[in-house]
Structure 1
Amino acid sequence: MKHLIFTALLFTTLLAAETPQAPNTLTAQEKKEGWKLLFDGKTTNGWRGAYSDKFPAKGWTVDNGLLTIQKSDGSESQSFGDIVTEGEYSDFDLTFDFRLTEGANSGLKYFVVEHSPKPKGSAFGLEYQILDDDKHPDAKMGRNGNRTVGSLYDLIPASGKKANPIGQWNTGRVVSKGKHVEHWLNGKQVLDYERGSEKFRELVAQSKYKAPDYNAHGRFGEAPKGHILLQDHGDQVSYRNIKIKSL
């Protein structure tokens, strides 16, 4: 009998170890480490429209544990609008899963500050590019591939990356500590940089962010804190497992 009980307990332990973590949940260890969900898988709590006090009435859906921006006309932040976190962040470790449809474009921005007047396109901020590199034309624009998936949009290309095929899940990660920032894709670091450094400012001067509008309230990308933003770029993209830890 003791042998049977031990065998049953061992089987249960092994089964639990092999069971994948449910989406949009935190393990006991993650909670202990200070991780918090930015998306609970059921509601839009903690999010609102950019430059708005309400969540968009249409376009963004929560279904089956996914936060999805629906396809419209491919334009930037015009059809349904971007969404931002209610909270602002400075030093953080942020992870998120994203799933692209064919030819899709979106982005996750950080250090987003909503200065007036509202820009015509997306709110200003540093962007982790989310893109179908093979089918979307933006991948061939910019400089040296700095508009491809995982890149710091229009500034630094992701290097040595391995993105999963369209329709499968990818995991992005942004780590910001002091002035140092890292982008990760599927468990591999693909770039790093120092906000406000001479090299960073040189890259800004060679990008679209050199325009006066981007620097009217201080140098682009150098705000001390800001919101996290998910972009409506007119294509269908889904998100889940969005979680953050303050550093």
Structure 2
Amino acid sequence: MASAAMAETACKPAPGDTSNRLTAAERSEGWVLLWDGKDLSQWRGLNSDQFPQSGWTSCDGTLTIHEKGGEEGRAGGDIITRKRYSDFELKVDFRITPGANSGIKIFAQSDLSPIDKYTGKPVKVGSGIGMEFQVLDDALHPDAKLGRDGNRTIGSFYDVIPAPKDKLVNPTGEWNSARIVAQGDTVTFWLNGKQTVSFVRGSEAFREAVKQSKFSAISGFGEWRDGHILLQDHGNTVSFRNIKLRELPAQ
């Protein structure tokens, strides 16, 4: 498979493609691109100072993690922003393939060991720890039936709080849009413009939900002051674009 660096020179967006750009209004509102369709300098591997040399490609205006038999963290590994964020609004478009699993994590912590998806015990290879906006093919991936009350389905706060069953999901192969706002202790997820989850970090309800999740053994899970934005390698082909963020006033 071509490396991301090689793909940058070999691939170009289709003529007329307006993705991975900011409007004048967005710039005035403080938005920045975390990826402009070419430049990967704002990202690195979860356990490396460099961007992965395999597994991920930057091509045709999409940033894609490629298939590795569904093995978590074994294609190119998760990627994280070099910068850490605390109060922000994040927007990401994503496109899944049939049966795919991935995630967009916030407040990711690069110094914590990954954990087993069934037991919550530390493992050597896996995904970084953070609060995850679940990206999943609910119809075909078995994870949709695990967890509690659908809290591993698309748009959920993975394994903690479920998205509603009437969420708006575009078909596999089409682009979906995630929006995440974290300001103070309040975090809200949207999927295709419709709110799916809202919670207050550190609240009694939040801590009870975490206690019932696979993250229960991680001290202070989700209550970190800041962290990285993370795009997950779950061993399936998933593409991302229009990755943009604006920092918000602290509350």
Query: Which category describes the TM-score, using the shorter chain as reference length?
Result: 0.7 to 0.9
Corresponding residue for 1:134?
Answer: 139
Distance in 2 between the 1:175 and 1:117 partners?
26
Contact 2:65–2:75 (CA under 8 A) maintained in structure 1: no
Letter in 2 for 1:145: G
Q: Distance in 2 between matches of 1:38 and 1:158?
A: 26
Query: Gaps (5+ residues) in structure 2?
Result: 1-15, 115-122
Structure 1 gap ranges (5+): 1-19
- 5 Å-filtered alignment, 1:1-247, equals 22-115=18-111, 120=124, 121-159=126-164, 160-211=166-217, 214-215=218-219, 219-247=220-248
Question: 2:152 is matched by which residue type in structure 1?
Answer: R
Distance 2:33 2:39 in 1: 12
> What is the aligned length?
223
| Secondary structure of the corresponding residue to residue 208 of structure 1 | coil
Shift of 1:111: 0.3
**Match for 2:137: what amino acid?**
D
Deviations along 1:11-39, whole A, 9 cap, x unmatched? Answer: xxxxxxxxx98100000000000000011
Instruction: Give the TM-score of the pair, scaled to structure 1.
Output: 0.88
Q: TM (normalized to structure 2)?
A: 0.86
SS at structure 2 position matched to 1:209? coil
In structure 2, relative to structure 1, the CA distance for the partners of 1:117 and 1:131 (3 Å cut) is closer
Partner-residue secondary structure (3-state), 2:215: helix
- The residue identity in structure 2 corresponding to 1:199 is A
More helix by share: 1
Q: Distance in 1 between matches of 2:44 and 2:204?
A: 35
Match for 2:196: what amino acid? V
RMSD over aligned CA atoms reads 1.3
Which amino acid counterpart does residue 131 of structure 2 have in structure 1?
Answer: L
Q: Give the drift of 1:51.
A: 1.6
User: Which letter maps to 1:195?
Assistant: R
Answer with 1 or 2: which has the greater Rg: 1
The change in CA–CA distance for 1:67 and 1:93 in structure 2 (over 3 A counts) is same
Q: Which residue pairs with 1:8 in the alignment?
A: none
Change (3 A) 1:40 1:182: same
1:32 and 1:117 mapped to 2: Cα distance?
A: 39
Q: 1:190 is aligned with what amino acid?
A: T
Give the secondary structure class of the aligned counterpart of 2:181.
strand
Paired with 2:113 and 2:232, the residues of 1 have a C-alpha distance of: 19
Q: Please state whether the residue corresponding to 2:144 is helix, strand or coil.
A: helix
Moved more, 40-49 or 235-244: 40-49
- Separation in 2 of the partners of 1:111 and 1:154? 16
Identical residues among aligned pairs (%): 55
Per-residue deviation, residues 180-238 of structure 1 (Å, max 9, x unmatched): 00000001111100011111000011110112xx22xxx10110000000000000000
Q: 4+ runs of 1 displaced by more than 4 Å?
A: 116-119
